[in-house]
Amino acid sequence: MVKLSVNINKIATLRNSRGGNYPDLLKVASDVQDFGADGITIHPRPDERHIRYKDAKMLSKVISTEYNIEGNPIPEFLDLVKKIRPTQVTLVPDAHDAITSNSGWDTIKNQDFLKDVIGELKALNIRTSIFVDPIEKIISGAKETGSDRIELFTEKYAKDYFLDPKKAIKPYILAAKEANRLGIGINAGHDLSLENIEYFTDNIPDLLEVSIGHAIICESIYLGLENVIPMYLNLLK
């Protein structure tokens, strides 16, 4: 079964929009796990517009499942994850002013840098993952960095799914086959939803984990977190 990690950035965005501590990020993280999620994902950014660095530290006390922290490996981010030592760190090449993640790493151009960062994290027994586009040579480059896993950037799949699902999924299947050939684990995330997740997971060989945030929170406005999470888990079987 593919694991579901729930990104709770949007909960922090809602909290920060009014100040105070409502909704309570720690309670939501605890509840999400009670509802069946296999992990919690956060993506702190330097401007702390949603998840704050202190949130990341406090969450480590309530997460009993897997803890995945995503981010651009700037010095402040690396200091944070080295102190927390989450289950997994997913490296994302975000610009400081990016609204959301919008591209994967060039694992060939940035290979030496990624090797150094991944080496530091693995020395602390932190599982590593690299956010990548579904391009076979990029997958090969990811393997050379020493990363345990890749996370396939699924925005294009989600955009193209309703136009032609077979065409939309094709580069992801090829990328997954290359990852399997090289022996690197596969995660996926970005714009996956109840509408497109089943087709994706049915067609990607040996997919280990999906990280979903925006869609889950949007769907939960109407259906409730306690209902939406089991719906995903049923589709991921």
Listed in sequence order, the DSSP H helices in the chain are 9-18, 25-34, 53-59, 75-84, 111-122, 136-145, 155-160, 165-182, 197-203, 214-223, 225-235
Nearest to 59 by CA among 37, 28, 13: 28
What's the pLDDT band for 103 if we cut at 50, 70, 90? confident
The token duo for 154 is 């699924």
The active-site residue out of 178, 190, 209, 219 is: 190
Token code pair at residue 126: 């932190």
Asked about 214 being catalytic, the answer comes back as no
Position 236 scores a pLDDT of: 97
Contact 192, 154 (CB under 8 A): yes
pLDDT digits over 169-198, tens only?
999 999 999 999 999 999 999 999 999 999
Is residue 43 annotated as part of the catalytic site, yes or no?
yes
Specify whether 50 is catalytic: no
Residue 94 has a pLDDT of 77
Of the candidates 66, 70, 209, 219, the residue annotated as catalytic is: 70
Q: What is the pLDDT of residues 13-52, one digit of tens each?
A: 999 999 999 999 999 999 999 999 999 999 999 899 999 9
CATH class of 3-235: alpha beta
